[in-house]
Structure 1
Amino acid sequence: MPRSLDPRPTSPVRIQADWRRIGRAARRVALIAGAVPLVAGAAVMVTDKIRGQRYPLDSKFPTAPPTSTDIDGTTATLYTYGADLYDAMLEAIDHAQHTVFLESYIWKGDQTGERFKQAIADAVARGVEVYVIYDAFANLVVPRSFFHFPPQVHVLRFPALRAGLLTLNVRRSGRDHRKILVVDEETAFVGGYNIGEEYATKWRDTHLRLQGRAAWELQNAFVDFWNRWRSAKHPVLQDKGAAHWQPSLRAARNAPSDLVFPIRGLYLDAIDRATSHVYITQAYFIPDRDILQALLAAAARGVDVRVLVPERSNHSLADWLARGRYTKLLRGGVRIMLYEGAMVHAKTATIDGRWSTVGTANIDRLSLTGNYEINLEIVDNGLASTLEEVFRMDESNSRELTYDEWTERSPLTKIAERILEPLEPLL
């Protein structure tokens, strides 16, 4: 007769062993699932680095001379070429009589970096109070000795390692991505330009100089950041308040450690108001769901929405993640212009010939929720007109990506885009 089935229940020991096996298997699957996009991302970056060495982004590109606009008593000057900007910044430092506040995300130890370092040394030698902020992580490749200034210079090194780095918490690991110069409380600069030889002539970027009362906007931003992050060895900077309110020109400052993110709201509000056109120039364009929907809604109501980005940037992974938005954007009527032959690093937008922004923030998760950033919001027809001319100039060095061209990309490219999607929270 056949043996009867054993009616006894499975032992607790066996059940525990089975669950341990299931747990180990689940961990292996999770590890593999997490490793695949990381390995793919590394492969993309290595491949693009090799490609970048063979085909460097060093083509010449159109630029415009510095152009000034009066905004309620403040002269706003737009710069589109690094060499012009650096000359103006160094001239301002050379003529400083009282104070110099300089904050830079990247400060290269090359010839251009040395020019700024010497200007700082000369300023303190003639009695000017100089305060410098730089991001340690962004300058890891720069010798630490480069940032040895005369002892009279007050230097704040934003730390390379922050608490949220190991847990990938962007709000507690983001960088000081701002680029600010304020001289004598009267002249101030802000925009996308870091300090370095390459940026002087090989990158297309945009910076704005303010001369007059609105320079307070950038001075106040520097003072607040300094006092927030200074150590006991650093002096406290006095917040003097604003003698003049200028609602047509305001600074929006992201402070992630304090959960303050006005720049994202600035974009959303302006895009929602658009009735004619939206022109956006971005180095790294990875909009979140709300900004993406705002752009699509604007296009759906007949607004001419154009986004100008580098065809190939200096951060290949950002390029791949940005392309994950292209299908929806193109299908929804948003026009994508690809800047050719050089790196466009500007962070600007202008809407309906009235509203504009120039600053340091990219439209991506890292800038809008992780980094310390600053953008000027300007409501002025004159500056908007100038930025529209700059946008058309950049379009002359771009080609339009069509929906038909995009849908015909290779199946392998589409697969790579899907594999890399999990890396999006990092950017």
Structure 2
Amino acid sequence: MEFIKNHIWQIIIVLNYVLALSAVVTVLFKRLNPTKTLSYIIVLLVFPFVGLLVYYLFGQEYRKSKIFSRKNVLNQSIVKRIQQELELDTKTINKVDDLLDEKSKLIRLLYNNEKSKLTVDNEVNLIKDGDEKFKLLLDDIKKAEHHIHLEYFIIKDDKIGTLIIDALCDKVKEGVVVRIVIDDVGSSITSKMKKKIKDCGIEMYSFMPVLFSKFTGQMNYRDHRKIIVIDGKIGYVGGINISDNYVNANNNRYWRDTHIRIVGEAVKPLQILFFTTWDFASDGEIKISKDYFPSYNGKGKMPVQIAASGPDTDWSNIMEAIFVAITNAEECIYITTPYFIPNDEIITALQVAARSNVEVKLIVPKKSDSWVAEYATNSYIEQLLEAGVEVYQYTKGFVHSKTMVVDDVFASVGTANMDYRSFNINFEVNALMYNKDFCTQLTELFNADLKDSEKLDYQKWKNRSKGTKTVEAIARLAAPLL
């Protein structure tokens, strides 16, 4: 005991490096991206204790693990029947081949990956900011008759959050079932509001609670999705969380974001996604009935495919869809993202597209809400400019949209950023639209954002200070851990 007392710090350091070396071996055998592997090794070996903490919080891998099983939902007879009914729509791929040309590869890719069906009977409204979304949403909530399901990364009980929660409580009094899944890291709801939610009859669960989690990697595998399903008929998906930050009337800084409202068959895949998350978060059984999947009797004919990815999927579906869209582009690629921290595959695809005379334009914020993410994003810009990609920095406020348009026939709106975390770690969902009119609308919105952006010049950007480049290089090294 005297020896331990006199050498306590040496013993702790040795123990740290024993654990660190064990973690290094584990990382090496995970077949991760080399840059990400090197980042973890450096952090583990160079920063005692801190390195282990970072690895504990961010380094665990659970893709394909049983803890994220979806079988409890997907094996239910009603869900199987809905999947079979949607299967019929997949056979209509030939009808849209003339429009999509090689882009039809996307449909087959997502179907082969996750049995993600193409639905053709849909109406889709493009929403350009939180003010517009919340106005539509509150109106839809008031008209709900059977159920309202929300799955959100961020819900706060500020002005807009309280307004929506009050509206949901009113619907419960009318006999409407309301279920909410919130991410425990992203959301911020006071104990008083949680009590109100419970007392009024809303069922709410936190996704992987941080303080009481049974798992390691507590900061990983967050539920970054923003899904609303109302009566199985109306669906919302996109980048807008429930917070005053997204309401420009309540915000000093202009917030540009994009969301969509879907009415039609594409709501059914969103409903199934919600149920799989609910099953995991509630850790209980739910009997799913046909009432959650009503038939669509409208006249909408927009082809929509829901792409979801996360630790419960075998493949990085959204990243692969983006990659295929870029590599098959012939005329133009327009991308808006708040965080551009891509993998090598996406960088190379964009460079090759630009050097093949495809018009490639990228909008990112000039001033991010995270300085590390801002410098990490900036570290990738020079190599894009050198290849001929046009890069714009949004200056009107903060652009949080996650959108993409390719050749006026393919568009993506969803929750996934162009970064490691969205591609490989978090639960994300994007809606893919194969429709010229919708692409035209999204392109017009993109061009409007260009007017509020500064176009970067390659030579000027290349000549930025060494100090700035050094900070960017350090942020880029940390990028795989962000």
User: Where on the TM-score scale, by shorter chain, does this alignment land: which range?
Assistant: 0.7 to 0.9
Kept in 1: contact 2:233–2:294 (CA 8 A):
no
Partner Cα separation in structure 2 for residue 326 and residue 384 of structure 1: 26
| Correspondence 1:357-368 to 2 at 5 A | 357-368=412-423
Counterpart of 2:191 in structure 1: which amino acid?
A: R
Partner Cα separation in structure 2 for residue 236 and residue 154 of structure 1: 15
- Equivalent residue number for residue 207 of structure 1: 259
- Equivalent residue number for residue 77 of structure 1: 125
Counterpart of 1:157 in structure 2: which amino acid?
A: S
Partner Cα separation in structure 2 for residue 369 and residue 31 of structure 1: 21
Cα-Cα RMSD: 2.8
Measure how far apart 1:111 and its partner are: 1.0
- Equivalent residue number for residue 272 of structure 2: 220
Quick one: structure 1 residues 241 and 82, their matched pair in 2 at CA, closer, same or farther if it must change by over 3 Å?
Answer: closer
Corresponding residue to 2:441 among 361, 386, 396: 386
Measure how far apart 1:376 and its partner are: 0.5
Q: TM-score, normalised by structure 2?
A: 0.71
1:408 aligns with 2:463: yes
Corresponding residue to 1:88 among 120, 136, 147: 136
Measure how far apart 1:80 and its partner are: 0.6
Kept in 2: contact 1:227–1:236 (CA 8 A):
no
Partner Cα separation in structure 1 for residue 406 and residue 435 of structure 2: 11
| Correspondence 1:29-40 to 2 at 5 A | 33-34=46-47
- Equivalent residue number for residue 100 of structure 1: 148
Kept in 2: contact 1:110–1:196 (CA 8 A):
yes
- Equivalent residue number for residue 225 of structure 2: 178
Partner Cα separation in structure 1 for residue 373 and residue 214 of structure 2: 24
Corresponding residue to 1:191 among 238, 261, 264: 238
Partner Cα separation in structure 2 for residue 253 and residue 135 of structure 1: 17
Quick one: structure 1 residues 72 and 196, their matched pair in 2 at CA, closer, same or farther if it must change by over 3 Å?
Answer: same
Q: What 5-or-longer segments of structure 2 have no aligned partner?
A: 1-13, 22-41, 52-118, 249-253
Kept in 2: contact 1:191–1:359 (CA 8 A):
yes
What is the DSSP-based 3-state SS (H/G/I as helix, E as strand, rest coil) of the residue aligned with 1:256? coil
Kept in 1: contact 2:181–2:281 (CA 8 A):
no
Partner Cα separation in structure 2 for residue 184 and residue 87 of structure 1: 18
1:289 aligns with 2:337: no
Q: Deviations over 1:146-195 (max 9, x none)?
A: 233135322121123256655x8x7xx22101111111111111100001
What is the DSSP-based 3-state SS (H/G/I as helix, E as strand, rest coil) of the residue aligned with 1:305? strand
Kept in 2: contact 1:227–1:237 (CA 8 A):
no
Partner Cα separation in structure 2 for residue 403 and residue 334 of structure 1: 10
Kept in 2: contact 1:223–1:238 (CA 8 A):
no
What is the DSSP-based 3-state SS (H/G/I as helix, E as strand, rest coil) of the residue aligned with 1:283? coil
Measure how far apart 1:243 and its partner are: 6.5
- Equivalent residue number for residue 11 of structure 1: none
| Correspondence 1:3-402 to 2 at 5 A | 33-34=46-47, 72-139=120-187, 141-148=188-195, 149=197, 150=199, 152-161=201-210, 165-166=216-217, 173-201=220-248, 202-232=254-284, 235-238=286-289, 248-402=303-457
Partner Cα separation in structure 2 for residue 360 and residue 106 of structure 1: 12
Quick one: structure 1 residues 241 and 341, their matched pair in 2 at CA, closer, same or farther if it must change by over 3 Å?
Answer: closer
Partner Cα separation in structure 1 for residue 158 and residue 43 of structure 2: 44
Which range is displaced more, 391-400 or 210-219?
Answer: 210-219
Kept in 2: contact 1:281–1:348 (CA 8 A):
yes
Q: Deviations over 1:214-257 (max 9, x none)?
A: 2223222212222233223x63444777978x892110111214
Measure how far apart 1:258 and its partner are: 4.3
Partner Cα separation in structure 2 for residue 223 and residue 135 of structure 1: 15
Partner Cα separation in structure 2 for residue 237 and residue 105 of structure 1: 24
What is the DSSP-based 3-state SS (H/G/I as helix, E as strand, rest coil) of the residue aligned with 1:393? helix
Q: Deviations over 1:250-296 (max 9, x none)?
A: 10111214444210111011111100000000011111000111111
Counterpart of 1:160 in structure 2: which amino acid?
A: P
Aligned length: 366
Partner Cα separation in structure 2 for residue 78 and residue 134 of structure 1: 24
Partner Cα separation in structure 2 for residue 382 and residue 292 of structure 1: 29
Quick one: structure 1 residues 297 and 34, their matched pair in 2 at CA, closer, same or farther if it must change by over 3 Å?
Answer: farther
Q: Percent identity?
A: 30
Quick one: structure 1 residues 283 and 264, their matched pair in 2 at CA, closer, same or farther if it must change by over 3 Å?
Answer: same
What is the DSSP-based 3-state SS (H/G/I as helix, E as strand, rest coil) of the residue aligned with 2:418? coil
- Equivalent residue number for residue 60 of structure 1: none
What is the DSSP-based 3-state SS (H/G/I as helix, E as strand, rest coil) of the residue aligned with 1:325? helix
Quick one: structure 1 residues 242 and 119, their matched pair in 2 at CA, closer, same or farther if it must change by over 3 Å?
Answer: closer
Measure how far apart 1:104 and its partner are: 1.4
Partner Cα separation in structure 1 for residue 364 and residue 214 of structure 2: 32
Kept in 2: contact 1:133–1:158 (CA 8 A):
yes
Kept in 2: contact 1:226–1:237 (CA 8 A):
no
Quick one: structure 1 residues 30 and 176, their matched pair in 2 at CA, closer, same or farther if it must change by over 3 Å?
Answer: closer
Partner Cα separation in structure 1 for residue 246 and residue 329 of structure 2: 33
Partner Cα separation in structure 1 for residue 226 and residue 447 of structure 2: 25
What is the DSSP-based 3-state SS (H/G/I as helix, E as strand, rest coil) of the residue aligned with 1:210? strand
Kept in 1: contact 2:360–2:390 (CA 8 A):
yes
Measure how far apart 1:205 and its partner are: 0.2
Partner Cα separation in structure 2 for residue 271 and residue 298 of structure 1: 7
Counterpart of 2:286 in structure 1: which amino acid?
A: P
What is the DSSP-based 3-state SS (H/G/I as helix, E as strand, rest coil) of the residue aligned with 2:340? coil
Measure how far apart 1:34 and its partner are: 4.0
